[in-house]
């Protein structure tokens, strides 16, 4: 375990890096800026150690890119239509900075905040953030606590939050994976344990129903390559320039939600969550304007974010699982990324 300086922000604040785990096991680099998963290094099935998540070289790159690489997203992951919703008989007004909607907690979301490091040891770190009443328009003072653990297989993350007034909360990790370390994820195979997904309008807001994945490019019930799906010509895919959709996960409670595999490097990721939805985002808007920590340009399809969360726009959709958090209650969610190796090649 090591804590060192990752870099400085323009205002002189220091961003720290927390390193957990040790080879030959997974090694996780976290940043206190955004409670960000900056690097996750593991031994792949071809015997090579690689970083399998996307990350930038400096704090300023994180703040400039707008891609939320590896960040902890809050208070509200995903979109809220027109940045408005009703809560306890009154209208809450947030900013609307993404095609007329609220996205990922607002222009100064949790991904841009300096989190406090509450404690750490060789395999664990606990990051916390106090978000004041009215932060980005959200009611209630919210305290978020996010413990990370590196295991022999991968990483576990817990998201906890409490509030002093009725509010909404939807926390997730925005880690993008690339099991080859670089290049596109077109040849990665994805499996998602979902029979339906949530079609959206041109601004990413749910049209109002879930649609069966059967017969669509969103059918990942059996593992399928990403490349053909993101080029399918389907209207929903075309609208998002790829996949940027909520999948309605089968079952409830902690369970296997998705499997991502690269035969090239013989690496397989199993994602477990207790959330009802999984936003799958194939880096559709990466355009070469931001860079990896190694200095390479990130281009469309260079990673895939698998974000467990509530369904989009839940505060305006009484039929969706509720995002409301009351004082005295604790928001809790847990996710796990477990890696195994498979025979490389093919
Ligand atoms: C959203 C995308 C958005 C991206 C930004 C994803 O979680 O679903 O619409 O462009 O985050 O990185």
What are 66-97's pLDDT values in tens digits? Answer: 999 999 999 999 999 999 999 999 999 998 99
pTM over cut 0.95: yes
What are 16-74's pLDDT values in tens digits? Answer: 999 999 999 999 999 999 999 999 999 999 999 999 999 999 999 999 999 999 999 99
Residues of the chain with pLDDT under 70: 1, 346
| Phi, psi (rounded to 5 degrees) for 192 | -130, 130
Q: What is the model's pLDDT at position 1?
A: 66
CB count, 10 Å around CB of 89? Answer: 5
CA of 333 to the centre of ligand 1 (A): 20
Instruction: Give the CA distances from residue 257 to residues 116, 154, 169, 249, 341, in Å, rounded to whole numbers and listed in that order.
Output: 30, 16, 21, 7, 18
CA 314 – CA 75 distance, rounded (Å): 13
Q: What is the model's pLDDT at position 345?
A: 82
Which protein residue has the closest C-alpha to ligand 1 atom 8? 244
Spacing of C-alpha 272 from chain mean position? 13
| Phi, psi (rounded to 5 degrees) for 278 | -135, 110
Verify whether residue 120 is a known catalytic residue: no
SS3 236: helix
Q: What is the model's pLDDT at position 324?
A: 98
CA 173 – CA 176 distance, rounded (Å): 9
Q: What is the model's pLDDT at position 323?
A: 98
How are beta strands 287-291 and 90-93 bridged, if at all? unpaired
Verify whether residue 307 is a known catalytic residue: yes
| Any ligand 1 atom below 6 A from CB of 111 | no
Which DSSP category does 192 fall into? E
CA 214 – CA 197 distance, rounded (Å): 10
């Amino acid at each position: 375990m090591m804590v060192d300086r990752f870099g400085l922000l323009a205002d002189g604040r220091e961003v720290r890096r927390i390193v957990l785990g040790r080879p030959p096991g997974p090694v996780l680099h976290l940043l206190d800026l955004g409670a960000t998963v900056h690097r996750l290094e593991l031994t792949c099935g071809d015997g090579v150690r690689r970083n399998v998540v996307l990350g930038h070289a400096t704090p300023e790159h994180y703040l400039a890119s707008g891609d939320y690489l590896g960040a902890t997203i809050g208070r509200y992951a995903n979109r809220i239509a027109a940045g408005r919703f009703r809560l306890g008989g009154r209208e809450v007004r947030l900013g609307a900075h993404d095609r007329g909607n609220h996205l990922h907690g607002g222009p100064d979301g949790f991904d841009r905040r300096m989190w406090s490091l509450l404690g750490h040891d060789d395999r664990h770190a606990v990051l916390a953030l106090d978000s004041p009443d009215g932060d980005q328009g959200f009611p209630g003072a919210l305290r978020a606590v996010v413990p990370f653990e590196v295991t022999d297989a991968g990483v576990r993350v817990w998201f906890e939050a409490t509030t002093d007034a009725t509010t909404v909360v939807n926390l997730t990790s925005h880690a993008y994976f690339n099991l080859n370390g670089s290049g596109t994820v077109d040849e990665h195979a994805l499996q998602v344990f979902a029979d339906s997904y949530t079609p959206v309008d041109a601004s990413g807001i749910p049209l109002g129903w879930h649609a069966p994945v059967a017969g669509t490019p969103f059918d990942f019930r059996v593992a399928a390559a990403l490349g053909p799906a993101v080029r399918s010509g389907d209207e929903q895919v075309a609208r998002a320039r790829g996949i940027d959709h909520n999948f309605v996960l089968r079952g409830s409670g902690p369970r296997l939600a998705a499997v991502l595999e690269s035969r090239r490097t013989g690496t397989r990721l199993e994602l477990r969550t207790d959330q009802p939805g999984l936003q799958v985002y194939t880096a559709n808007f990466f355009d070469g304007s931001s860079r990896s920590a190694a200095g390479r340009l990130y281009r469309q399809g260079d990673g895939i974010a698998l974000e467990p969360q509530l369904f989009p726009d839940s505060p305006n959709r009484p039929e969706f699982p509720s995002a409301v958090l009351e004082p005295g209650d604790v928001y809790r969610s847990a996710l796990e990324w477990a890696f195994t190796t498979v025979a490389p090649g093919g």
